[in-house]
Amino acid sequence: MIPLRDTIPSRTRSHGMWLIILANTLVFLFQVTLPETQYLQFTHLFGLVPARIMHPDWAQWAGYPTQWGMSLATHMFVHAGWLHFLLNMWMLWIFGDNVEDVMGPVRFILFYMLCGLGAILAHVLFNTDSTVPVVGASGAIAGIMGAYLLLYPHARVVAFVPIFFLPYFFEVPAVVFLGVWFLIQIVSGLFSLMFQSDVGGGIAWWAHIGGFVMGMVLVKVFQKRDICRHCTSMEQWFREHSRWR
């Protein structure tokens, strides 16, 4: 099931979301110009390696710089390839504009960064000995998805499934789409702990879980108060316009 868009129209221009997409795009385009050796070095320096934090003696032996705090933020803007980059930016485009609607661009960007921070800390907690660099915006975007779930429970997601090479389009409630997505992360994360393996080809399941939960926890903090006071009328507006995007 591949999501195409949601059915909730934006009420304002999404400056914060597009700034984040632009920043990710510029970093990724720089990455792809690097030779393979420099690309690997870039990933290890600006991605986040859990063992670099949890085992400083090993990190010193491996030749990492002693200062790693910057990678808590920079890892969100580094990606492992075109598919990784495009999928993350696509999910951000689908869900980010509506979350920014209730926060404004500045709050939205801060919310995004904090969700990414919560995501990477969750990953480090469950992968203390990992020497694999974690890169990508998916943890922060998972936070946006968690916020979306609480803000727009009546929304729907337009998706398609290829059946014998023919696309089948349909709408699914956002609650179902996001709930199933989150359940997959939990099950996969538990399997990765039980069998001490990278279920799913190196996907940071616990970063997704941590980001999603962080988004649900922080959304009310970052939601504008005037939006909260008019939430009933907003819900009516979204219901009236939710099929015209």
What was the pLDDT predicted at 148?
97
Class of domain 11-241: mainly alpha
Least confident range of 36-40, 105-109, 176-180, 193-197: 193-197
Domains in the chain: boundaries: 11-241
pLDDT digits (tens, 9 = 90+) for 1-25: 788 999 888 888 899 999 999 999 9
Q: Which residue has the higher pLDDT, 147 or 168?
A: 147
Q: What is the mean pLDDT of residues 46-66?
A: 92
Taking residues 44-63, what's their average pLDDT? 93
> Is the pLDDT confidence value at 140 over 90?
yes
What secondary structure, in 3-state letters, does the chain show? CEEEEECCCCCCCCHHHHHHHHHHHHHHHHHCCCCHHHHHHHHHHHCECHHHHHCHHHHHHHCCCCCCCCHHHHHHHCCCCHHHHHHHHHHHHHHHHHHHHCCCHHHHHHHHHHHHHHHHHHHHHHCCCCCCCECCCHHHHHHHHHHHHHHCCCCEEEEEEEECCEEEEEEEEHHHHHHHHHHHHHHHHHHHHHCCCCCCCCCCHHHHHHHHHHHHHHHHHHCCHHHHHCHHHHHHHHHHHCCCC
Q: If you average pLDDT over residues 212-233, what whole number do you get?
A: 78
What was the pLDDT predicted at 236?
A: 53
Question: Is-above-0.85 flag for pTM?
Answer: yes
